[in-house]
Amino acid sequence: METLRQCIAELDLPRRARACYQCGACTAGCPVGRWRPELNPRRIVEMIARDELEELIRDGTIWLCTSCFSCLDRCPQAIEVTELIRGLKAAAARVGSVPDAEIKKAKAILRDGWASAAIARTVKQRAALSLPELTEDRRLMAELEKLSSTLEMPGVLGPCEAPGKKEERQAD
């Protein structure tokens, strides 16, 4: 089992954030930060430089990021801010700090083949509009089952740290 520190270290974040001069263009364009100032890309990059990430990861704020890429496109220093935040989400997921909704969606993709399964009403509507029938694809299902045994995805496939163990983990 890995610690949060190890997960963060693997991301090589300080090097990827080094060019930041804290202009705040990322934050000015953030569609989430506009309503929730706690999601502040400029500050996230600053915290990366200061090595103060653990709290940010543990309180779940980073999952508010919609991955709209506005910060990445706006950065005059070509820092891939959205990618840094995604890296932090991945590290958070590996220590169990991940919203249930994301886990459910990923499980659905591996179980049903799709993030969103067709409901009975849609099946009828599709027929009424003369659209091709949706059939379960056996080849897709068989291949997903096989891939599920080799792919790793925290909380979805393989072991995931139980929420109650977080404090212990922090201490080791």
Partner 1 sequence: MAEWSYTLYTGCLIRSRLPHVEKSARTALGRLGVDLFEAKGVGCCPEPVGMRSLSQEAWLTLAARNLSILAEDGRPVMTLCNGCYSTFREAEHLLSRDKGYRQTVGRHLASIGREYVSGPEVEHVARFVYEKIGPDRLRRSVVFPLTGLRAALHAGCHFSRPQALLDFDDPENPTRLEELMGALGIEVVDYPRKSLCCGFSIAGVDANLSLKMGFEKLKDMKASGAQAVVVICPSCLLQFDFNQQQMERTFEAKLGLPVLYLTELIALALGESVQSLGLDLHRVRAMSLIEGLLSGKQAEPEKAARLVKR
Q: Which residues bind partner 1 (CB under 8 A)?
A: 29, 31-32, 34-36, 63-70, 72-73, 82, 86, 89-90, 93, 98-106, 109, 113-119, 122, 125-126, 128-129, 131-132, 134, 137, 139-140, 143-144, 146-147, 150-157
Q: How far is the CB of 103 from partner 1 (least distance, A)?
A: 8
Q: Give the separation between CA 77 and CA 19, rounded to whole angstroms.
A: 6
Nearer to partner 1, 50 or 149 (CB): 149
Nearer to partner 1, 50 or 130 (CB): 130
SS3 content of the chain, % helix, strand, coil (to 5): 55, 0, 40
Q: How far is the CB of 45 from partner 1 (least distance, A)?
A: 17
Q: How far is the CB of 122 from partner 1 (least distance, A)?
A: 6
Who's near 133: CB < 8 A, 6+ residues apart? 126, 127
Nearer to partner 1, 9 or 90 (CB): 90
Can you give the length of the chain in residues? 172
Tokens for 149, please give them: 């045994």
Nearer to partner 1, 15 or 149 (CB): 149
Q: How far is the CB of 171 from partner 1 (least distance, A)?
A: 25
Cβ count within 10 A of residue 105: 13
8 Å CB contact between 20 and 26: no
Nearer to partner 1, 34 or 165 (CB): 34
Q: How far is the CB of 14 from partner 1 (least distance, A)?
A: 20
Q: Give the separation between CA 99 and CA 84, rounded to whole angstroms.
A: 19
Residue 20 CA, distance from chain mean position:
23
Q: Give the separation between CA 116 and CA 114, rounded to whole angstroms.
A: 5
